[in-house]
Amino acid sequence: MKVHVPAWEKMMIKIAIVDDEKNALDLIHTYVERELLPSDEAEIFTFTKADDLLERLEDGLEIDIVIADVEMPGMNGIELGRRINALQRSIYLIFITAYASYAAESYTIEAYQYILKNDMDKRFSMIFRRLMERVKREKRQYKMIGTPTNKETVYYRDIVYITKAKGAKYVRYITVNGEYTERISLNQAREELESREFLQIERGYIININHIAAIHGNCVYMDNGEQVVISRARLKKVREEINLYRGSL
């Protein structure tokens, strides 16, 4: 069951900090507060255990940015990142670590960045501000979906794909937070989105390029585990469009 969240709350940028050492947690919190601008509209949550953050996420807390120490007892930051990606792939991860050897591993779970503890003074400000501006842009890209009396705010970044079966009355929006429907044509849905991240790969399917996990043969595998078959006649053009979009990022 989807929980209705007011639009104003959805626009709030929510940041979670995870570190088992209280002094380190407080220090990262200070770094974050120092970089926040009055226009950011941010809320900070702190956790000394990775499990506590996961529990809150499973209960429905929506987080935009997680800043986590890698070296923690029990569940370390890398495992936390894997678990977070399984729950909410739209969350950005920043890892804080004392060891450069963790950098390669952080990339395997698509972490936004890792920062060595010795480099916090030099790197944190630039990385955090860049990410904040990115999240703010994304939060301005959303669509109200539903009936005239009951509409939900759905961010572009959360839409995995859009589909409409032949003869169906409703378009289905498959998102990281569940499914939404709207009585609208697929062409109209595509025109209203006005974003290059969406690509129509077949007559009944529009995908979000940012949610592609892999392409094998003429199958596009989305990061929610689903797949879409592309006709071989369209395959070359689809690959070109995906490469053009990714090259522009």
3-state SS of the chain: helix, strand, coil percent to 5?
A: 40, 30, 30
Distance, in Å, from the CA atom of 83 to the CA atom of 66, rounded to the nearest integer, reads: 12
**pLDDT in the model for residue 2:** 45
Question: What does the block give as tokens for 37?
Answer: 């601008």
Rounded to a whole number, what is the distance in angstroms from the first to the last CA of the chain? 35
Closest CA to 52 of 22, 82, 17, 95: 17
**pLDDT in the model for residue 8:** 44
Residue keyed to tokens 């009396």: 149
Distance, in Å, from the CA atom of 3 to the CA atom of 95, rounded to the nearest integer, reads: 30
Residue keyed to tokens 């909410």: 88
Distance, in Å, from the CA atom of 74 to the CA atom of 54, rounded to the nearest integer, reads: 13
Q: What single letter denotes the amino acid at residue 50?
A: A
- Check: CB of residue 246 under 8 Å from CB of residue 212: no
Q: What single letter denotes the amino acid at residue 245?
A: Y
Residue keyed to tokens 């959360």: 158
Helix (H) or strand (E) holding 86, with range, is helix 77-87
- Residue by residue, pLDDT tens for the chain (249 residues) are 444 554 445 678 999 999 999 999 999 999 999 999 988 889 999 999 999 999 999 998 989 999 999 989 988 888 898 898 877 767 899 999 887 766 555 555 567 788 988 999 999 999 999 999 999 988 888 899 977 788 888 989 899 999 999 889 999 999 988 899 999 999 999 988 878 899 999 999 999 998 998 899 899 999 888 999 998 888 999 999 998 888 765
Q: pTM for this one?
A: 0.72
User: CA-based Rg of the chain, rounded to a whole angstrom?
Assistant: 19
